[in-house]
Amino acid sequence: MDYSLENIGKGKGFFLDFDKVWIDKCFYINRNEEKVEKVNVLTNSAKTTIVRFMDNDFIKVDLHQFGLVVEIASFDVSKFTYFKNDKIELVQADNSYGGGLSGLTPARIPQMEFGKINMFQMSKQQNQLVAFLITNPDGVNDYYYRIGMSKDI
């Protein structure tokens, strides 16, 4: 499957595996500042896959750890923002201003509260492919979770 970010933004199918994954719990301090804590529920061998099986289908994110595969997110994206310059290329979907995310499934990772996914982003920069999911726990306004994934390209 083609996995250029531009084609992902156009709704094309793709399959990507990431060999690094981490979770940050981000506390709001004020409008311009946050405090970040690592959530230590993953091993160094944890991996993720992000896949869209068919064009314009939903996107699925799976966590691979301890020989198990757990779906941590599944969502539709009706609109991506695509951007490219000489330093970075990225696609992003979020729920701001009418957004492009719908049919959200709460992230399913131990020690994290259930919440809706509010942003999904993938970027190519400095020989890395990096993806982020932002999820806000239901009924919580003090913090959010940032699930990060990366691989060398």
Instruction: Kindly give the confidence (pLDDT) of every residue in the chain, 153 residues in length, as a single tens digit, with 9 standing for 90 and above.
Output: 457 999 999 999 999 999 999 999 999 988 888 899 888 778 888 999 999 999 888 999 999 988 889 888 888 888 888 999 999 999 999 877 666 787 666 666 767 777 788 899 999 999 999 999 998 888 888 999 899 999 998
Nearest to 88 by CA among 36, 127, 48: 127
- Domain spans of the chain, in order of start: 5-152
Q: Scanning the structure block, which residue is given the tokens 């230590």?
A: 40
Cα(147)–Cα(132) distance, rounded to whole angstroms?
A: 6
Q: What is the pLDDT of residue 31?
A: 80
